[in-house]
Structure 1
């Protein structure tokens, strides 16, 4: 494998699908000019230690799709000089068990300016000062967690999208949370001078389609609510692979979801 890869001197993008680490995997990429890596795995078991950062020195964008995280997974990506990171699972939001290790790895990314995550439940994401764009998708987000996330982001200068289901998750099933609880916080967000909410759309489920088969667009209708601040429907900024996957993976148990677009600017001190 090393001999074959060494001849690909112009290779800049690669996709890897493995069930676990293999001896010499990252050594095989050493010296190549890989700028974008898509990494698909079910459950990562590390054998090669921390050779990823040593080998992929030119890497700029990293996409990881994993069903179960492990300590070795987050340690393995630590120290990369990436500018963009995307994290999700194969069929639903990613359940992160080792939150502190993930936070440590994100803290090591000195040049990270774009972060996209699709999570099963809320976790305390490390927000770097270098971050300019955040796309945060969550299968179950409490109003209190939304408040915590927004106030945490308000200390930064960035923009992005938040999309989440109005529900809590107990590990087995979802429990509906009234959308009015989120609308109340939307009014509170209006008092934050550094935060501009460009989109706040509530969607109601119209039918219980079978995910991955039926059209996800036909399953939702937009809520007409005077409290909702709506931007241009033709805004394509939220149309990305992460958002599309989030919509397709929503459980039939979910009745309401919310899509937000925000921009945070520093407060001018006179």
Structure 2
């Protein structure tokens, strides 16, 4: 048998009225009945439990009847399939974070383990079948290796949710196929967001557009198909729209649609930001975007990145965007001619994603060298080959550099040495410290950046780091849950620094009773002055997505309770990743 501990208190440790429910893993028929639940329950932890998807559905159904939020942590649980007519019993391992019971909302943060096996999402989908959910919010914790599993999960689960009015999906990466599927759903509102970036509402007919534009909770962007019906394109004309996302297949864009799309886009005088997510390009697609007054353009495609078959047409488009300041491209390494399209642009910020091995570094280097107004360079890559790109960057006048990498390598640290940058952001690194295999650490690289004023790190390790004397601001976003040992390593290292600078530390913690230990650790250190220590809790909301509320002010000397996210993409990524029970936000300075 297995045991689930229910508590009628937020603090599980100090609860005086714990309730223990024993489940028979043999799954008798009566287990399908709603399990007993205290009306005031707020937290459930299922660890190593084996149960059927029908029992899990009964639990969710009961929680949805409550008038308050309940968090249900499911860790390493074996869920058996109960679909009639199946040849064999299917048992899958699931780990996920559920919140439910708040205005019939259901939030699921799907972890890495939810995607290790394709059938896992299928069994989890059975647990959602027929639930009385008005708002369903799904947040991926990690990228999905096979997008088809996720789409199949949505396809099989959503039709049974007859009360569903709003679907909110947050993913690591947006593909045209996912947009197309969500576009086909008959739901009042379907919102889609990419972690660390803006949210958008998918609009597939005129009535939806009108509702979005008059709504007090208007999304940051409107998402439509490049092959949208002419009536919808006509309805877009002259609207006060700041951000727009186009998705679909560019190669199927008909001539009449090119004209309609061009006329519609050119009428959007307030349009500032445009995202284009297409499987294939066409001269007509690039022609439809010609001459827009946008300041920001993002181009991406499927999992392999953007493959441009019409480089000349794209080059002509980019040259026509005279007000363009920011260009983001999720590229395919198999198309070296793409770099010719960015040659000589007057952009200030360039973001390059999915660089792969950079087999054609010389072509990219020449294009980068021609960007004389470039101030910010953002690159996402696997380590091999990219140090050569950073060496090219030494000849540029960039002041801000952002690096997202999978893994670490000595060549990368060496390539950072001596760069004349004022701001550096780094994420995706497995370790920031010296290990047996590596003789070189990041410390000499950082200490050599004599102009560096702001350093932002999104890491899960923090050792042996030496900061330059010029540093004024350090932002640390901790990947995963932080313990007091990790906090000690961070603060002890920083308190030994001789210069004065300010630190923003953000991390998530699982249990509330451990938070006091974090504060005590910091108060015992010399040369450390805390100016803020806030505890945030997350709650789903019908209109606003991830809402963080200040649950407790431990230290609030400066009186500032804002998140201060701004344009910090790593902070936005962190906020999406740690939708957990508690988040602590600390501000302190080294005197």
TM class by shorter chain equals 0.7 to 0.9
Deviates more, 1:130-139 or 1:22-31: 22-31
Rg larger in structure: 2
Structure 1: gaps (5+ residues): 167-175, 266-270
User: Is 1:60 aligned to residue 387 of structure 2?
Assistant: no
SS in 2 for 1:26: helix
Deviation at 1:88, TM superposition (A): 1.8
Indicate the residue corresponding to 1:19 in structure 2. 356
- The aligned runs of 1:227-242 (5 Å cut-off) are 228-230=554-556, 231-235=558-562, 237=564, 239=566, 240-242=568-570
Deviation at 1:97, TM superposition (A): 6.7
What is the distance in 1 between the residues matched to 2:472 and 2:484? 24
What is the distance in 2 between the residues matched to 1:234 and 1:203? 10
What is the distance in 2 between the residues matched to 1:86 and 1:136? 10
Deviation at 1:37, TM superposition (A): 0.5
Residue-by-residue CA offset, 1:41-89 (whole Å, 9 max, x unaligned): 2x13117747625643412100112233333333333321111001123
Deviation at 1:236, TM superposition (A): 5.5
User: Is 1:29 aligned to residue 368 of structure 2?
Assistant: yes
Deviation at 1:105, TM superposition (A): 2.1
- The aligned runs of 1:106-125 (5 Å cut-off) are 106-125=446-465
- The aligned runs of 1:162-177 (5 Å cut-off) are 162-166=505-509, 176=510
Deviation at 1:244, TM superposition (A): 1.9
What is the distance in 1 between the residues matched to 2:537 and 2:504? 19
SS in 1 for 2:529: strand
Bigger relative contact order (CA 8 A; separation at least 6): 1
Q: How many residues align?
A: 239
Indicate the residue corresponding to 1:161 in structure 2. 504
SS in 1 for 2:452: coil
What is the distance in 2 between the residues matched to 1:179 and 1:66? 33
Provide closer, same or farther for how the CA distance between residues 52 and 28 of structure 1 changes in structure 2, counting only shifts above 3 A: farther
Indicate the residue corresponding to 2:30 in structure 1. none
What is the distance in 1 between the residues matched to 2:489 and 2:394? 37
Residue-by-residue CA offset, 1:194-235 (whole Å, 9 max, x unaligned): 43212111234557x9xxxx9222xx553336xx11353554
Using the size of structure 1 for normalisation, the TM-score is 0.72
Indicate the residue corresponding to 2:261 in structure 1. none
What is the distance in 1 between the residues matched to 2:387 and 2:458? 27
Is the Cα–Cα contact under 8 Å of residues 532 and 586 in structure 2 kept in the other structure? Answer: yes
RMSD between aligned alpha carbons? 3.3
Query: 1:198 aligned to 518, 526, 531, which one?
Result: 531
User: Is 1:147 aligned to residue 488 of structure 2?
Assistant: yes
Indicate the residue corresponding to 1:216 in structure 2. 546
Query: 1:78 aligned to 397, 417, 422, which one?
Result: 417
Deviation at 1:242, TM superposition (A): 2.4
Using the size of structure 2 for normalisation, the TM-score is 0.36
Provide closer, same or farther for how the CA distance between residues 5 and 257 of structure 1 changes in structure 2, counting only shifts above 3 A: closer
User: Is 1:264 aligned to residue 590 of structure 2?
Assistant: yes
Deviation at 1:26, TM superposition (A): 2.8
What is the distance in 1 between the residues matched to 2:459 and 2:528? 23
What is the distance in 1 between the residues matched to 2:367 and 2:390? 10
Provide closer, same or farther for how the CA distance between residues 183 and 248 of structure 1 changes in structure 2, counting only shifts above 3 A: same
Query: 1:183 aligned to 516, 521, 529, which one?
Result: 516
